[in-house]
């Protein structure tokens, strides 16, 4: 199984647009940094969004498999960046999840931890090959 995304520069800017299927996102640097105009997310934000977004999806998948409806799903991801070149050295995810029936959602959160593809990939390390 593979997922492929495409990215291209946005004409008239130094930002990039990425897409997969019919979904798009703009990636840019903060205004004034290497020609950035602040038009979209930077790399660290994209990484945090990938981690948190994947976890949100897995909470929903897990709840559905348990025939449970979720009410509140709140996830805050903090990534720590250090070094030169700058790399992510830690990611912290704060999760709040409640069920519509008022029951305890800790089992849903624990199951999502075990199945979250992005979290598991980051924890295990991923080979990245860059070709030109």
pLDDT of residue 120: 96
Same domain, 50 and 74: yes
Q: Which domain holds residue 36?
A: 1-41
Same domain, 60 and 89: yes
pLDDT of residue 41: 97
Q: Is 48 exposed, middle or buried (0-12, 13-18, 19+ CB in 10 A)?
A: buried
Same domain, 87 and 27: no
Tokens read off for 6? 């495409």
Three-state secondary-structure class, residue 32: coil
Tell me the pLDDT tens digit for each residue of 96-120: 999 999 999 999 999 999 999 999 9
Tokens read off for 49? 């969004």
| Pick from 31, 45, 106, 100: nearest CA to 77 | 45
Same domain, 69 and 14: no
> Is 131 a member of any domain?
no
| Pick from 126, 122, 4, 3: nearest CA to 55 | 122
DSSP 8-state assignment for residue 79: E
Same domain, 57 and 14: no
> Is 35 a member of any domain?
yes
Same domain, 50 and 66: yes
> Is 129 a member of any domain?
no
Cα distance between residue 24 and residue 91, in whole Å: 25
Tell me the pLDDT tens digit for each residue of 27-43: 999 999 999 999 999 99
> Is 130 a member of any domain?
no
Confidence class of residue 127 from pLDDT cuts 50, 70 and 90? very high
Chain centroid to CA 103: 27
Tell me the pLDDT tens digit for each residue of 56-86: 999 999 999 999 999 999 999 999 999 999 9
Same domain, 35 and 46: no
Same domain, 13 and 74: no
- Whole-model pTM: value is 0.92
Same domain, 14 and 47: no
């Amino acid at each position: 199984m593979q997922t492929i995304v495409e990215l291209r520069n946005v004409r008239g800017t130094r930002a990039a647009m990425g897409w997969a299927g019919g979904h798009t996102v703009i990636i840019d640097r903060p205004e004034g940094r290497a020609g950035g105009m602040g038009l979209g997310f930077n790399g660290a934000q994209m990484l945090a969004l990938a981690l948190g977004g994947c976890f949100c999806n897995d909470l929903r998948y897990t709840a559905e498999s348990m025939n449970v409806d979720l009410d509140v799903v709140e996830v805050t991801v903090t990534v720590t960046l250090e070094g030169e070149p700058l790399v992510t050295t830690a990611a912290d995810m704060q999760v709040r999840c409640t069920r519509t029936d008022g029951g305890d959602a800790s089992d849903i959160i624990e199951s999502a931890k075990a199945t979250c593809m992005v979290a598991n990939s980051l924890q295990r390390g991923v080979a990245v090959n860059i070709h030109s």
